[in-house]
Amino acid sequence: MGLNLSAISKRSFVGRLLRRPLVLLPPGMSVPILQGPCRGKRWIVGSSNHGCWLGSYEFTKQRRFAEVVRPGAVVYDIGANVGFYTLLASALAGPRGRVVAFEPLPRNLEFLRAHVAMNGMTNVVIRSVALADHPGTRPFDDTPGPSEAHLAARGSLTVECATLDALVAKGEIPPPDVIKMDVEGAELLVLRGGEATIRTHKPTLFVATHAADVHAACVAWLEQAGFRLDNLDGESVQACSELLAFPVRR
């Protein structure tokens, strides 16, 4: 996978030295991704943090993701943001695979579509909806920033919501082999809205959780649904914030 440059502390001398030239890159500039499965693909400076084009963004998660996604796989990127995991899934799944990217925030959608287009990702479909436990519209809060935008009781935007089960049942998207989910607190809603799909097709799931109560509820839900849980960040399954759920085959 290469070097985990993002692990070098910003406070260290080396970290400051390495990051100093990055301020010279103008937002909007297209640069090549330097390492990993997406090496050589194009990335827009300023769309997300520099770790994306350096290839070191979420380094451990990237590595595990690359171990799980096989050529020909169907991958859901739920909470695709500007598309780093969409590009990664597209490269790993290859031309026989399919990637469905879900992202409701207009600012993120613009970058997501640009990244997919500039890299010629013909195996990617983008759905401009938020996933939840039932369809309709909901308030969406984007004030913390585009990487932390989320469904909320009140928000500056209203977004369209859908459920995985309805989309799969209607044949609008193929059943998943792998699901990556990062939805800033709506994890349990997505699981509930995709219960039939997840229980029937038994995908491998990468689930980032964002609150202790939601994390505990997701752990209980996944275990009850027949998944074996692991962690991605070195903590116990109960204490971690990055879950990896494998289906238990019988």
Domain boundary among 16, 33, 57: 57
At 59, list the tokens. 């380094």
H-run or E-run covering 135: none
Task: Note whether 98 and 74 are within 8 A (CB).
Answer: yes
Domain count, the chain: 2
Which 3-state string (H, E, C) describes 152-186? CCCCCEEEEEECHHHHHHCCCCCCCCEEEEECCCC
pLDDT tens string 73-101: 999 999 999 999 999 999 999 999 999 99
On whether both 226 and 120 belong to a single domain, the answer is yes
Domain boundary among 10, 27, 57: 57
On whether both 189 and 229 belong to a single domain, the answer is yes
Confidence band, pLDDT 50/70/90 cuts, at residue 234:
confident
Task: Note whether 56 and 23 are within 8 A (CB).
Answer: no
On whether both 81 and 129 belong to a single domain, the answer is yes
pLDDT tens string 210-227: 889 999 999 999 999 999
Instruction: Give me the residue label for tokens 């004030």.
Output: 143
On whether both 165 and 237 belong to a single domain, the answer is yes
**Do β-strands 150-151 and 136-141 pair in parallel, antiparallel, or remain unpaired?**
antiparallel
Q: Which amino acid, residue 155?
A: G
Tell me the residue range of the domain where 14 lies: 1-57
On whether both 27 and 145 belong to a single domain, the answer is no
Whether the CA torsion 98, 164, 130, 48 is positive or negative: it is negative
On whether both 28 and 146 belong to a single domain, the answer is no
